Amino acid sequence: MATLINVCSPPSGGTTYAISKWQPDECPAKSAAYLRAIDDELHRPGGQGMFAFEHSDLVACGASIFGVFAQTGASAEFAGALYSTIDAGGQQWIKGAIVAPAFRGIGLLKVLASYARLHARDDLGHASESLGVVRVYPDGSVNTPSLRSFVAAGLTERLSENRLPIKGERFDRHLLATAEEGGTFRSITLRGDASSLPTARAVIQAWED
């Protein structure tokens, strides 16, 4: 089962959102909603050029998924999610961020990234360094909403810009349209250390008040 982290609303009020954490195999329905949202975005005209991944990929990397669902009457509608992994060196990686179009612009991604950072500390028993990956497009533009959201969650240091090959047919079919010459893509890695965790806490507090 998913672990309910919080039920809260944006500072402006309005819709109530339930934020949960789960492992891919614990909640197949929630995981499927996340993967559908990724696939919808990849096929949407003007959508983000980002990695496609499957349920088995999330299981293989030991991902913890952080998702948010809008509470609309008796039902819950998928609003956004991301996943977090901890590498062998104890660093947290935050990837796969998606917010459904109807719920963009209210700060859901920065809230999810903030919760992911604090839960990584709890899971490890100590504060970890967090790294977030942001897509760069062939024309040099950046996935600005993700960039701003990660910065708001305390990932303020630009660590590196990488140029990596696209691997696998299921990735190629989505990314080739926005790939660099030679079949590569670019991404920016942002970092935040333990000293920036109060920034993440402040983001969450704003939604809890």
CA distance 205 to 185: 36
CA distance 64 to 31: 11
If you compute the radius of gyration of the chain from its CA atoms, what whole number of angstroms results? Answer: 16
CA distance 34 to 17: 16
Q: Please report, for residues 101, 133, 157, 181, the alpha-carbon distance to residue 190 in angstroms, rounded to integers and kept in the order given.
A: 24, 6, 5, 25
Quote the pLDDT of residue 126: 65
Matching residue, tokens 């590498």? 87
Residue numbers of the domain that contains 152: 3-208
CA distance 122 to 3: 14
Average confidence (pLDDT) per 10 residues, the chain, 209 residues: 89 91 93 90 68 81 93 87 90 90 93 92 74 81 87 91 71 65 82 92 91
Question: What CATH number should be reported for the domain holding residue 84?
Answer: 3.40.630.30
**For the residues of 100-138, what is the DSSP string, one character each?**
-GGGTTSSHHHHHHHHHHHHHHHHHTS---EEEEEEE-T
CA distance 10 to 207: 5
> How many domains does the chain divide into?
1
Quote the pLDDT of residue 49: 56
Quote the pLDDT of residue 33: 94
